[in-house]
């Protein structure tokens, strides 16, 4: 399955989770160190917008731009995270549907990045933060297996030596699902 279709499936899965977050979930702890659900929503919304802007040609910092503690990102995920996420997904699909989008060389504040690499980072963060929200809010955490398998393949190659934004791997049983293997690999306890 191509990367754009995988992103769409990750967006659909995560979007359903985001839409089911309730006000009484906002103060719940998440798998993301020191972030509650409200902070994770702020990060996720800022991240989606940042990926869209970089894919559209803006040279932004891929870390600072979606810092949930930055003043411009505080409160972005509430009161209507589902609608906000859905709008950003719509924009993303328009951006990535352009012929050659994956082949473009994009700029960030730290240099150039291939479009396909940005797509894989976007896909990874969208899927994994969906899992973080699902786990924190008591929703179903089982990801679409083919999407999780693709992200596990990408991150296994890309993160052999550098694990920016992710903790050390957590061991999982041999019979663990692909979701459990992926989140364990990315430093989360399934």
What backbone phi and psi angles, to 5 degrees, belong to 163?
Answer: -120, 50
Average pLDDT of every residue of the chain: 94
Q: Left, alpha or beta for 100 (phi > 0: left; psi -120 to 50: alpha)?
A: left
Q: Could you write out the three-class secondary structure of 6-49?
A: HHHHHHHHHHHHHHCCCHHHCCCECCCCCCEHHHHHHHHHHHHH
Q: Residue 32 — very low, low, confident or very high, per pLDDT cuts 50/70/90?
A: confident
Q: Residue 1 — very low, low, confident or very high, per pLDDT cuts 50/70/90?
A: low
Q: How far apart are alpha carbons 27 and 52 in whole angstroms?
A: 28
Q: So where are the chain's domains?
A: 3-140
Average pLDDT over residues 64-72: 93
Residue/partner pairs of 50-53 with CB below 8 Å, 24 or more apart: 51/92, 51/118, 51/121, 51/122, 51/125, 52/88, 52/91, 52/92, 52/95
pLDDT of residue 33: 81
Domain 3-140 fold: 1.20.120
Is pTM, for the whole model, over 0.85? Answer: yes
């Amino acid at each position: 399955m191509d990367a754009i279709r995988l992103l769409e499936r990750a967006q659909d899965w995560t979007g359903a989770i985001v839409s089911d977050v309730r006000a009484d979930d906002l103060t719940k702890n998440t798998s993301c160190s020191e972030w509650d659900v409200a902070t994770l929503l702020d990060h996720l919304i800022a991240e989606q917008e940042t990926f869209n802007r970089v894919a559209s040609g803006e040279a932004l910092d891929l870390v600072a731009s979606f810092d949930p503690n930055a003043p411009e990102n505080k409160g972005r995920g509430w009161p209507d995270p589902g609608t906000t996420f859905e709008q950003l997904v719509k924009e993303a699909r328009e951006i990535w549907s352009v012929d050659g989008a994956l082949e473009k060389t994009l700029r960030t504040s730290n240099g150039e990045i291939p479009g396909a690499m940005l797509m894989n980072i976007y896909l990874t963060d969208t899927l994994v933060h969906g899992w973080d929200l699902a786990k924190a809010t008591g929703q179903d955490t089982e990801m679409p297996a083919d999407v999780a398998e693709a992200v596990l393949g990408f991150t296994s190659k890309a993160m052999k030596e550098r694990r920016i934004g992710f903790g050390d791997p957590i061991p999982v049983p041999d019979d663990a699902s692909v979701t459990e293997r992926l989140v364990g690999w990315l430093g989360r306890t399934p």
